[in-house]
Structure 1
């Protein structure tokens, strides 16, 4: 109790109702000093608005709900395709779901209805939303802030960035918002999200920018997402995230949630990328990206050490597609890409994005490391197909599960220091793994427990294509690589491995 006979909590509560001047709470002078201190302490921190109402009133008329009728495949293959899309870019899981599709299944379809969000970006009725909101749409309807329902048509969409542009069919002048610059935002800045969660149109939520430059795996190779904690739920997809000036700094796209509802982790496509892609879609209806025709991997420290390369900046070419621009230009497996047209790359993601921005059918300079030497190779990039695997003729082969290699006609050669029995790859294995006629390698026929191969996680049935970037058609060739690595005082060797139709890499310790 205070000396006035009322609790400090009551005095603080009274202070909340005091006069607000410029966002500062003015505590009445008749309060005791300790009560005045508590009242002032609860005022909003500098820069925090007392209300988002003015902002929301200004931008909400430009936000729409998007109602879609689409055709949807049903059956086991449809389920596998959905899972395959979710795990694209993750070699083991992608191959797992790919091999579980049934070629005998007759496709079946059904009508499906879905909800999303969007926003006007022009007075004449152009709307931005997500690709996945309108994918396979046969009918698109938008519901305006004033309740009007208007038919819309697709201008263009881009699956890789999950963006799409619509145009309303009813002429008129529509309220619209503009893209801002998310790079001006700092972690902790206020953001406001608007949309149509669970069909509840006209919903606003507020939070902060939790993080930026989030990578969400191979399914989104061209996007570094903004992470926000403003509530985003199903139906918010395609809606805008605003800064406090009413600029769109992100397009809501994904949530991370074990329950399907908001847990405070949502992701938005940055405004800079959204503006670039939507401008292209408006002009041409599609996004054309450069295509190299390679599978690339990051270059971890142990990979670089095994190859004797200083630093770990760059991207390792794990596979070159037959007939691709990369093959025609002379790029090879185990080449390390350091830069494109003078711009340095740091990992597989930055390389993918740089190549994706190249203009198809133009010559570009690729700085690479091959056999420890830096060189430049000019590559005329192609246009990225919708399905690069289909374009290259690479199809999933039945294969044998890991650990179930073919029974050899000879026992192979046992390398005791490594604890593995190796046999030159047979033509049948080469064909099953989808390799080309000239490819060579060593099949792992047996793994000895506690050997160096076992400790590295290798299993019978895997094929060693190369060691430290050198072909290993025979056990003798493999041993020569080991001798060279020891002479160079290296502690590991880097193996290029074929598992199914995927090329992966693994380092193995050299015997002491």
Structure 2
């Protein structure tokens, strides 16, 4: 009996060992780098495309960083030069304190926003609202260098400003792209200093183009993006996947996250060049008051609203429109050969016209089509 029990005991131990040996063990699969090409059947076909996209983000963030600057306001702290002599304090220390408070200025630094280096000799492009209420502007580069900046010119109607810093060595200007070629759905990156966090990068797509009637500026033609734009991003670049600046980040909609706006770079550069060359922005001017053609107005004027147009509600005496024959109640349907669909579009067309240029303007007066020729005047920003 004992021999039988002993044999059974050894049989159980041998069976347990055999079972474990035959495969009841956890095997950790080998980790194979994706770059080797092994296990290709388990990797999505577009994985290499995603890696290329990631590399583009990293490359652009690194290459654009030296061209993106932080704009700060130095606010002078007012201190009273008078101080009472404390017990044990000698007259000499009191006199030194008096000189310090009287002749040495003290400043508090406040982060305002961002900007881009436009040229290698120190011209900077940013937003008007960033530098609108500043005492003294201090610009900080990505390498930590700081420069006092001078305002060269402002254009509140497009929310743009040009600053200038000076150095004997020169600067790294940002590469510029063509905002006119942007398509909805393109990848873009926003770089700036939100909440004072320098060099912050966010990524998104172009959500819309030619956005207007937003109430942000007088002349609007915004790029809409879902790349996060926060306070401090204003004035910084919106860039495409080629690492080129295609917009100047300007505003975020109050309606919620994911709706930001940027000024197209081609529009911004045109304004900046005029500020640098002339110190001001001159725009075309008609001298009329206008309003949208509503269904009610279209019915009263007995015109079809589907053709578009803008109603003239006032004409300034002696203005180009007055000299060209426009009258109150006229409906402007075409300007320089282009159909006028709304008020903002006409404002933009007139503003972009050359001063002194004779422009054909088609109107409806008492239901009859007429064409006037108006010599464009000058409106100074």
What is the match of residue 154 of structure 1? 151
Residue among 301, 317, 320 paired with 2:315: 320
- Cα distance in 2 for partners of 1:203, 1:143 equals 15
- Cα distance in 2 for partners of 1:59, 1:113 equals 24
Asked if 2 retains the 8 angstrom alpha-carbon contact of 1:304 and 1:312, the reply is no
TM superposition shift of 1:231: 1.3
Asked if 2 retains the 8 angstrom alpha-carbon contact of 1:362 and 1:380, the reply is yes
The answer for unaligned runs of 5 or more in structure 1 is 30-35, 72-110, 387-512
Larger Rg: 2
Residue among 44, 59, 64 paired with 1:40: 44
- Cα distance in 2 for partners of 1:188, 1:338 equals 32
- Give CA deviations for 1:447-485 in whole Å, capped at 9, x if unaligned: xxxxxxxxxxxxxxxxxxxxxxxxxxxxxxxxxxxxxxx
Asked if 2 retains the 8 angstrom alpha-carbon contact of 1:211 and 1:228, the reply is yes
Give yes or no for the alignment of 1:252 onto 2:249: yes
- Cα distance in 2 for partners of 1:186, 1:361 equals 34
Give yes or no for the alignment of 1:368 onto 2:359: no
TM superposition shift of 1:385: 5.0
What is the match of residue 80 of structure 1? none
TM superposition shift of 1:218: 4.6
Residue among 58, 61, 64 paired with 1:59: 64
- Cα distance in 1 for partners of 2:156, 2:46 equals 46
- Give CA deviations for 1:399-435 in whole Å, capped at 9, x if unaligned: xxxxxxxxxxxxxxxxxxxxxxxxxxxxxxxxxxxxx
Change (3 A) 1:6 1:355: farther
TM superposition shift of 1:253: 0.5
What is the match of residue 378 of structure 2? 383
What is the match of residue 196 of structure 1? 193
Change (3 A) 1:137 1:146: same
TM superposition shift of 1:136: 4.0
Local SS of the residue matching 2:282? coil
Give yes or no for the alignment of 1:128 onto 2:128: no
TM superposition shift of 1:234: 0.4
TM superposition shift of 1:68: 2.5
What is the match of residue 100 of structure 1? none
Residue among 19, 28, 33 paired with 2:39: 28
What is the match of residue 258 of structure 2? 264
Change (3 A) 1:113 1:293: farther
Name the Cα RMSD after superposition: 3.0
What is the match of residue 284 of structure 1? 278
TM superposition shift of 1:41: 6.4
Give matches, 1:333-348, under 5 Å: 333-348=328-343
Asked if 2 retains the 8 angstrom alpha-carbon contact of 1:207 and 1:230, the reply is yes
Residue among 299, 304, 318 paired with 2:293: 299
Question: TM-score, normalised on structure 2?
Answer: 0.76
What is the match of residue 228 of structure 1? 225
Give yes or no for the alignment of 1:163 onto 2:174: no
- Cα distance in 2 for partners of 1:299, 1:193 equals 38
Change (3 A) 1:5 1:67: farther
Greater relative contact order: 1 or 2 (C-alpha under 8 angstroms, separation 6 or more)?
2
Asked if 1 retains the 8 angstrom alpha-carbon contact of 2:153 and 2:280, the reply is yes
Local SS of the residue matching 2:345? helix
Residue among 68, 85, 90 paired with 2:73: 68
Residue among 178, 189, 193 paired with 2:175: 178
Residue among 100, 114, 119 paired with 1:117: 114
Give matches, 1:486-497, under 5 Å: none
Q: Which has the higher helix share?
A: 2
What is the match of residue 33 of structure 1? none
What is the match of residue 476 of structure 1? none
Change (3 A) 1:342 1:184: closer
- Cα distance in 2 for partners of 1:57, 1:6 equals 44
TM superposition shift of 1:122: 1.3
Give matches, 1:384-403, under 5 Å: 384=379
Local SS of the residue matching 1:250? strand
Question: TM-score, normalised on structure 1?
Answer: 0.58
- Cα distance in 2 for partners of 1:118, 1:291 equals 30
Change (3 A) 1:121 1:112: closer
The number of aligned residues is 326
Change (3 A) 1:385 1:54: closer
- Cα distance in 2 for partners of 1:158, 1:4 equals 76
Local SS of the residue matching 1:147? coil
What is the match of residue 274 of structure 1? 268
